[in-house]
Structure 1
């Protein structure tokens, strides 16, 4: 059976004045999968995300999405194709309500993001869809709360809701559980599994419990290059991966 890759890179490389941050990365993300991009600090994971979303332009190599080369696309074109990214730092408006945050994302999707002068009655037509999205991420009861008053884990759930409002085909999640306590990590893990039901997710994540618990496939980066690819069972027993993380082949990944 031929694998259906929604995203592929070939020889993806990024150099900064002689320093090679990403080197010859061949990445294949299968449609419908949760694919984790992991590696030690400085491995090139965030740079790779920046290349995929065109916040950076590659020095060499190509990127294909849905079989179409997007290497030279601008970030806005990438987003319009359905590749939407969240960031390590929560990117919501803290002084707006939870509902208003989702509604702004819906306005962007509808092409009316600059129409803040419109009558509230017109903008209220987005409320049903906003509430649907909030329900999807378990935030329906928080709709009228000012975002700054919410716990950190709930803010990350809101960020996922605003990402979903842009109707992504491929979601790129950058450290979705960073800085969370155990309860919030569990909640966000389950949320990622839920929203992955009809879309593809590529995530950078350090928490090995999250990676092992929800990933279908894993790519390990080290010093900007692909060290290993496969399932968690495959990469966690790879001696090169163990050494990259722990410093010796006798150590166990995630222990």
Structure 2
């Protein structure tokens, strides 16, 4: 029987399990994400983090368990239905078009929100009506000066910011960010950390992140996975001192 969500909880899983040919990639995961928080899923490689994200965003269906979003059971809904409810994964919708400008990329995302993203024959006037909102979103992620830059020519860190802008175009209530700082240099990491902090002001963020200094700086709650199961949960100060977590991270950058 599904539990009633507390008012401060936006997302909850109960007994979430995914098996592949008898192998449990995710096993009995009970996750509770508080509204307005930044919550991290961490753990060594192969811990099941990406599989949990795939289950939440309905790329795959669970073998067992339930997922509730805003008090609604979304366990058997499609990825499109879940996105329309306001839970959006950064790479799911926001993959950029390399040969479009930053402004055009955000405008495409806004068309999708409006429901006519595939009407490429729309009049210039109809498309230009989206420009003010597109520029506002670029401003929000500090990309206004890149508005006319083709995405393929943008620095890597700026491309990640553009992906966040296109995700914001869908007006998500819960953003799922999968390794937002992966492959970045120190300067870009700092810029993206500040960007995530900025865009979290009016929404909830659930993120997978390997960089523990990023997690320490940003996140209110950490859920540590190991071999598909929850190993520990709490704030960074508590989790980082847990002997089980330290053991799980042997050989992993801490």
Q: TM-score, normalised by structure 2?
A: 0.95
Tell me what 1:221 maps to: 225
Of 208, 214, 228 in structure 2, the residue corresponding to residue 210 of structure 1 is: 214
Matched, 1:102 2:70: no
Tell me what 1:124 maps to: 128
Counterpart of 2:130 in 1: which secondary structure? helix
CA deviation profile, 1:152-199 (whole Å, cap 9, x unmatched): 000000000000000000000000000000000000000000000000
Matched, 1:186 2:190: yes
The answer to whether the 8 Å contact 1:86/1:173 transfers is yes
Unaligned 5+ runs, structure 2: 1-5
Detail structure 1 runs of 4+ shifted over 3 Å in the superposition: none
Residue 87 of structure 1 and its aligned partner are, at CA, apart by 3.0
Unaligned 5+ runs, structure 1: 248-252
Of 51, 59, 70 in structure 2, the residue corresponding to residue 66 of structure 1 is: 70
Matched, 1:38 2:30: no
Residue 222 of structure 1 and its aligned partner are, at CA, apart by 0.2
Residue 114 of structure 1 and its aligned partner are, at CA, apart by 1.5
Q: Answer with 90-99 or 36-45: which moved more.
A: 90-99
Matched, 1:21 2:16: no
The answer to whether the 8 Å contact 1:87/1:175 transfers is no
Counterpart of 2:245 in 1: which secondary structure? helix
Tell me what 1:84 maps to: 88
Of 119, 143, 146 in structure 2, the residue corresponding to residue 142 of structure 1 is: 146
The answer to whether the 8 Å contact 1:137/1:191 transfers is yes
Tell me what 2:172 maps to: 168
Residue 112 of structure 1 and its aligned partner are, at CA, apart by 1.0
Tell me what 1:250 maps to: none
Counterpart of 1:121 in 2: which secondary structure? helix
Q: TM-score, normalised by structure 1?
A: 0.95
